[in-house]
């Protein structure tokens, strides 16, 4: 009993430390990414950001295709092998060879098809951008292999640090090259930013390689011979994960093809259509994705952790980890979504002051609509990862597939007749359907449901939103309104979370920053500590 309790405690601590490490790294990386987007948007303008965002979804799609779910599968296999005290290095080397081969093929394809892709997207001038970013696919493939290995070991520091390195190099070099090339025209400024991305991935790869060598130099050697049966097991694990991994990038690729072309049918000129797509896919989606990345940190950690519990047939641990992770995702997602709804236009105005008045209104409205995706996409990602961890990835494939098909159909119709607002509505529909489908699938597998706590969480979020409305009503300056609103909303939200008992005394130890949460709980719910 003591051994089992110790194992559960160690596993819970592994999740907390892993989540904390990845969350801190992800927050820093996203802040750097947001910091990068602000001057980049001001350098490139809306049209330049549109050209930049035409290249990125294609890059993301081929990046996912070239990894085909192998990093997540590797992390799960490594965790399971170590739980059995078996060697796992042979899986790492086999997966790395496959990743490098696939990434090289993807880079060659992107380079070869660049002109055709740019024409399909409705703006042929972007094709050289694909040439510039194609080599980074090879670097990303190798980085993915190292991350899969380290995550399987529940060692999350390299993933966090490599994310920060990518953003720092991209921030420094990408902006410098954009400014240097901007004199030759907006398209050259875009090329400079893309070159910064390629160099940033190379630097991150060097860091991951050095970290792996240093960490493994004193370990006992393992046999690297892998059987056909072992590789078959890898592909059986990776294939459904690959399909899940490719669905969202595929959806974003469809966006890059559909939106600009539909906006032109809607009646906009090519430059205006590209600019509106740039606002939607650049500033707006970047803001929405900032809190979503916290959920991705949870998702990365939860797969190997729950996989170990599955191998150990520890149903209680699976349920505990699942409940904590989903609940924490709602706790993080709901306040961000409501804050974006209340302060939408103010946030855009504060961060992107060089946008025109009309562009600020468009971007602010798009942010308010897309804010729902903070909750739906975050929670969907967690449920997908949980389904992967309990070996029910096929259910996630069906759920996400239906959502992507619905979004694409809605996008074609709504953007054609409603403009860029229709594209945002289609994205929200996808997030809602994906969340409902994956949550239902996981409920069928494990019986997890959190209806009561989610309802209370929404109520707390609405109270926070009302406090935010008071701030935005009486403060005219955008920067001051957003800054003060963030402080007021954070205080009201945290206070109400504890006041309404969303986080109980007995479960605080399961969350990151447990000591700080305990102190806040003791202050807010003081009556529970009278006898202490």
Which of 2-16, 80-94, 448-462, 493-507 bottoms out in mean pLDDT, i.e. has the lowest?
2-16
Domain annotation covers residue 272: yes
What is the pLDDT, as a whole number, of residue 17?
52
What is the pLDDT, as a whole number, of residue 69?
73
Q: Between residues 235 and 303, which one has the greater pLDDT? A: 235
Which of 8-17, 324-333, 344-353, 392-401 bottoms out in mean pLDDT, i.e. has the lowest?
8-17
User: 323 and 306 in contact (C-beta within 8 Å)?
Assistant: no
Q: Is the pLDDT of residue 499 over 70?
A: yes
Q: Sorting pLDDT into bands at 50, 70 and 90, what band is 523?
A: confident
DSSP E strands in 49-89: the ranges are: none
What is the pLDDT, as a whole number, of residue 20?
55
What is the pLDDT, as a whole number, of residue 447?
72
Q: Is the pLDDT of residue 308 over 80?
A: no
Q: Is the pLDDT of residue 199 over 60?
A: yes
Question: Any residues with CB less than 8 A from the CB of 465 and at least 6 apart, and which?
Answer: 338, 339, 341, 342, 489
User: 201 and 132 in contact (C-beta within 8 Å)?
Assistant: no
d(CA 330, CA 379): 7
The half-sphere exposure of 37 on its side-chain side, counting CA atoms within 13 A, is 26
How many domains does the structure of the chain reveal? 1
Decide: helix, strand or coil at residue 269.
Answer: coil
Q: Choose from 117-131, 168-182, 210-224, 481-495 the range with maximum mean pLDDT.
A: 481-495
The half-sphere exposure of 19 on its side-chain side, counting CA atoms within 13 A, is 24
Domain annotation covers residue 480: no
Closest by CA to 496, choosing from 371, 347, 275, 335, is 335
Question: Average pLDDT of 385-389?
Answer: 78
State whether the Cα torsion 56-58-61-64 is positive or negative: negative
Q: Is the pLDDT of residue 365 over 80?
A: yes
d(CA 247, CA 257): 15
What is the pLDDT, as a whole number, of residue 12?
45
What is the pLDDT, as a whole number, of residue 6?
39
Cβ burial of 526 (10 Å; 0-12, 13-18, 19+) is: exposed
Domain that holds residue 264: 12-449
Question: Average pLDDT of 493-503?
Answer: 90
What is the pLDDT, as a whole number, of residue 296?
65
d(CA 52, CA 326): 34
Question: Average pLDDT of 207-220?
Answer: 85
What is the pLDDT, as a whole number, of residue 450?
64
Q: Is the pLDDT of residue 4 over 50?
A: no
d(CA 74, CA 67): 11
What is the pLDDT, as a whole number, of residue 103?
92
Instruction: Label residue 307 left, alpha or beta by phi (over 0 means left) and psi (-120 to 50 means alpha).
Output: alpha
Domain annotation covers residue 512: no
d(CA 312, CA 256): 44
Q: Is the pLDDT of residue 512 over 70?
A: no
Which of 107-111, 221-225, 411-415, 471-475 bottoms out in mean pLDDT, i.e. has the lowest?
221-225
What is the pLDDT, as a whole number, of residue 502?
86
Averaged pLDDT score across all residues of the chain: 82
Domain annotation covers residue 87: yes
Angle 315-319-324 from CA coordinates, rounded to 5°: 150
Question: Average pLDDT of 177-206?
Answer: 92
Q: Between residues 506 and 140, which one has the greater pLDDT? A: 140
Which of 155-159, 188-192, 409-413 bottoms out in mean pLDDT, i.e. has the lowest?
155-159
Question: Average pLDDT of 337-361?
Answer: 89
Q: Tokens in use for 234?
A: 């890898």
Q: Sorting pLDDT into bands at 50, 70 and 90, what band is 358?
A: confident
Tell me the DSSP string of 58-124.
HHHHHHHHHHTTHHHHHHHHHHHHHHTT---HHHHHHHHHHHHHHHHHHHHHHHHHHHHHHHHHT-G
d(CA 115, CA 317): 51
Closest by CA to 256, choosing from 432, 52, 401, 395, is 52
**Mutual orientation of helices 70-83 and 372-389 as an angle, nearest 10°?**
50
Which of 41-50, 413-422, 473-482 bottoms out in mean pLDDT, i.e. has the lowest?
41-50
Alpha helices for 312-356 (secondary structure H): 315-351
What is the pLDDT, as a whole number, of residue 1?
41
Question: Average pLDDT of 160-187?
Answer: 89
Q: Between residues 98 and 8, which one has the greater pLDDT? A: 98
What is the pLDDT, as a whole number, of residue 310?
62
- In the numeric block, the tokens 């694409």 are attached to 408
Domain annotation covers residue 262: yes
Taking only the tens place, the pLDDT of each residue in 245-292 is: 778 778 888 887 889 889 988 988 888 888 888 888 878 888 888 787
Decide: helix, strand or coil at residue 24.
Answer: helix
Q: Between residues 413 and 326, which one has the greater pLDDT? A: 413
What is the pLDDT, as a whole number, of residue 449?
67
What is the pLDDT, as a whole number, of residue 14?
46
Q: In the chain, pLDDT over 70 holds for what percent of residues?
A: 84
Q: Is the pLDDT of residue 312 over 70?
A: no
Tell me the DSSP string of 412-461.
HHHHHHHTHHHHHHHHHHHHHHHHHHHHHHHHHHH----HHHHHHHHHHH
Question: Average pLDDT of 14-21?
Answer: 51
Q: Sorting pLDDT into bands at 50, 70 and 90, what band is 366?
A: very high
Q: Is the pLDDT of residue 349 over 50?
A: yes
Which of 14-28, 137-151, 206-220, 443-457 bottoms out in mean pLDDT, i.e. has the lowest?
14-28
Q: Is the pLDDT of residue 39 over 60?
A: yes
What is the pLDDT, as a whole number, of residue 230?
67
Q: Between residues 352 and 107, which one has the greater pLDDT? A: 107
Q: Is the pLDDT of residue 15 over 50?
A: no
Q: Sorting pLDDT into bands at 50, 70 and 90, what band is 2?
A: very low
Q: Is the pLDDT of residue 11 over 50?
A: no
Question: Average pLDDT of 3-31?
Answer: 54
Q: Is the pLDDT of residue 5 over 50?
A: no
User: 53 and 278 in contact (C-beta within 8 Å)?
Assistant: yes
């Amino acid at each position: 009993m003591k051994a089992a309790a110790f194992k559960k405690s160690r596993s819970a601590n592994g999740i907390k430390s892993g989540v904390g490490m990845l969350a801190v790294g992800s927050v820093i990386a996203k802040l750097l990414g947001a910091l990068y987007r602000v001057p980049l948007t001001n350098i490139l303008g809306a049209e330049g950001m549109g050209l930049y965002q035409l290249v990125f979804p294609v890059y993301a799609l081929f990046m996912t295709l070239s990894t085909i779910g192998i990093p997540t599968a590797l992390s799960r296999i490594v965790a399971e092998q170590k739980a059995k005290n078996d060697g796992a290095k042979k899986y790492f080397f086999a997966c790395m060879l496959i990743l490098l081969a696939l990434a090289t093929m993807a880079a060659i394809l992107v380079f070869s098809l660049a002109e055709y892709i740019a024409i399909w997207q409705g703006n042929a001038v972007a094709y050289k951008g694909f040439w510039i970013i194609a080599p980074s696919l090879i670097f990303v493939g190798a980085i993915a292999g190292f991350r899969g290995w380290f995550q399987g070991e529940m060692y999350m520091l390299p993933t966090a640090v490599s994310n920060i390195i990518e953003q720092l190099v991209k921030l420094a070099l990408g902006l410098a090259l954009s400014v240097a090339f901007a004199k030759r025209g907006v398209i050259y400024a875009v090329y400079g930013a893309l070159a910064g991305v390629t160099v940033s991935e190379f630097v991150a790869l060097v860091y991951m390689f050095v970290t792996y060598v240093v960490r493994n130099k004193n370990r006992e050697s393992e046999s690297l011979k892998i059987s056909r049966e072992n590789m078959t097991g890898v592909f059986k694990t990776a294939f459904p994960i690959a399909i899940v991994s490719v669905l969202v990038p595929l959806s974003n690729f469809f966006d890059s093809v559909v939106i600009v072309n539909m906006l032109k049918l809607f009646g906009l000129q090519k430059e205006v259509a590209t600019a509106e797509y740039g606002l939607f896919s650049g500033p707006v989606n970047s803001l929405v994705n900032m809190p979503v990345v916290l959920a991705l940190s949870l998702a990365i950690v939860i797969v190997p952790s729950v996989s170990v519990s599955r191998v150990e047939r520890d149903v209680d641990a699976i349920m505990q980890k699942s409940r904590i992770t989903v609940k924490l995702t709602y706790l993080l997602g709901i306040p961000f979504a409501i804050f974006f709804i209340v302060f939408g236009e103010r946030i855009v105005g504060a961060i992107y002051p060089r946008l025109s008045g009309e562009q600020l209104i468009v971007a602010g409205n798009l942010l308010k609509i897309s804010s729902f995706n903070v909750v739906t996409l975050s929670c969907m990602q967690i449920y997908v990862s949980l389904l992967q961890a309990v070996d029910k990835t096929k259910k996630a494939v069906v759920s996400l597939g239906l959502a992507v098909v619905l979004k694409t159909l809605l996008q074609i119709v709504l953007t054609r007749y409603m403009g860029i607002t229709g594209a945002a509505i289609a994205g929200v529909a996808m997030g809602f359907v994906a969340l409902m489908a994956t949550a239902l699938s996981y409920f069928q597998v494990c019986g997890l449901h959190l209806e009561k706590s989610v309802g209370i969480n929404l109520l707390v979020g609405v109270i926070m939103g009302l406090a935010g409305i008071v701030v935005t009503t009486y403060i005219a300056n955008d920067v001051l309104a957003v800054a003060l609103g963030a402080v007021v909303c954070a205080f009201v939200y945290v206070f109400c979370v504890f006041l309404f008992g969303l986080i109980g005394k007995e479960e605080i130890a399961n969350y990151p920053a447990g000591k700080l949460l305990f102190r806040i709980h003791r202050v807010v719910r003081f009556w529970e500590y009278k006898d202490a």
